[in-house]
Structure 1
Amino acid sequence: MNTINPGQIVYLECLDKRLYAEAIQVAGSVRLWCRPLMLVSNLPHDSHQQQAVIADAAIDPETCSLELFDLKTAPDLVWPLESFKMAFDTDFFALLFHLRIMDNSEAEGPAKQQFQHFLHSCWQHGTKGYDTPQAPRKLISIR
């Protein structure tokens, strides 16, 4: 894992979804405090194809099969640092720009639901090896 600095864009993947977030601070050297920005859904399950699909969507977001959810009102997130990867900023910013110019305020409810579902899926699929006596046994959501 590369060193993550505040302001960098990172992502977290689970199944066919990818959460993009802005790094705020590394907390205690094992967790990342970040601000969720966008959730991308309907990615191929093959991780090698995911970046290619996102790059294609960044070129022509109108015709892509991906679902984009703007998480500008989502709460900050603290998550295990080892789960994050560095994002390709050009693809991310093109998709976020497209999403923000659409300014669909009616999509805020579905975006929050998708975000919560994503977090629960990640927690269920990604806590193996993170199960220590001090680790929480369930995911707690702050709204």
Structure 2
Amino acid sequence: MDRDRSSTLQAHQIVCLADPQARLYAEVIQVMPQRQTCWVRPTLLVVADQVYNLDHCPDIIWPIAGFRPALDTEVIPLLGNTAASPLGCQYLRQFLHRLT
């Protein structure tokens, strides 16, 4: 499955990484199939009813297996509902820590 996932993810694609409490949407920068990882640029973090803009957060490298392609219909409605908050990067770190 990981090999299939790495061949379906492409640069500039929006992907989703989720757990029961939150969803991270990110833009694929590069897929590294040899390492089964993906370099992504965080875009939005959805926690409960809050949508955080992550434009100023650092890029991450994460295992490909955790990502799924995001649907336009799930991402586009979120773009107008982002909360401008300096806590976005902190929430992102907490989210990633929960997944490790």
C-alpha separation in 2, matches of 1:82 and 1:17: 17
Give the TM-score, by structure 2 length. Answer: 0.85
Which of 10, 13, 19 does residue 14 from structure 1 map onto?
A: 19
Q: State the distance in 1 between where 2:71 and 2:33 align.
A: 26
| SS of the residue 1:119 aligns to | helix
Does 2:91 align with 1:120? no
- Superposed CA RMSD in Å reads 1.5
Q: Provide the aligned length of Structure 1 versus Structure 2.
A: 94
| Structure 1 unaligned regions, length at least 5 | 43-65, 124-143
Q: How many angstroms does 1:97 deviate by? A: 2.9
Give the corresponding residue for 2:80. Answer: 97
User: Which residue identity lines up with residue 63 of structure 2 in the other structure?
Assistant: P
Deviations 1:94-132 (A, max 9, x none): 212332xx6x3xx12x11111110010011xxxxxxxxx
Contact kept in structure 1, 2:51 and 2:81, CA below 8 Å: no
Distance 1:83 1:91 in 2: 18
Matched, 1:87 2:89: no
Which of 37, 45, 49 pairs up with 1:39?
45
The secondary structure found in structure 2 opposite 1:25 is strand
Q: Tell me the percent identity.
A: 35
Distance in 2 between residues matched to 1:11 and 1:91, nearest whole Å: 10
More strand by share: 2
2:88 counterpart letter in structure 1: A
